[in-house]
Copies of this chain bind each other. A is one copy, B any other.
């Protein structure tokens, strides 16, 4: 089960996390260097985000000499999954299928990805329903007129 992200991670903070997810363990210098190149952030900016991520509990800071070794407290996949959930929570369940179809049509995919998705889809075929139940409040989706 995915980690519950009660606190939110912003897009900027995610940039920091990506470095840590990639490196496994990173010093602030590792992080600062990557983001200075990619986003032209000043070292102080990256450091602010590091501090906030530690405070939010997304980054672990292990003291090592006079500095810290940072590592992720949450997995990248879980985090992306949580972000995707947040998006889907904002739309009617009935629209989920269409939305996924949209994303799918625009995503760059490898043969392997296609294969994986096909497998999941096959499984879905067995459990699909005739009509997805609406999860909206009256007046907040067109289900009645569907």
Contact = CB atoms under 8 A, between A and B. Distances in A.
Most buried by B among A14, A34, A88, A113: A113
B116 A118 contact: no
Interface string A72-116: 000011001101111110111101111111111111111111101
A121 B121 CA distance: 9
A130 interface: yes
A35 to B, nearest CB: 8
A5 to B, nearest CB: 14
Interface string A3-21: 0000000010011001100
A99 B111 contact: no
A97 B109 contact: yes
A100 B129 contact: no
Given A84-B87, A88-B107, A108-B132, 7 more contacts: A18-B92, A23-B139, A83-B90, A100-B103, A100-B117, A104-B117, A117-B121
Interface of A: 11, 14-15, 18-19, 22-23, 30, 33-34, 37-38, 76-77, 80-81, 83-88, 90-93, 95-114, 116-118, 120-121, 123-125, 128-133, 136-142
Identify the 7 closest CB pairs spanning chains A and B, nearest first: A97-B113, A38-B137, A34-B139, A96-B107, A111-B128, A18-B140, A114-B128
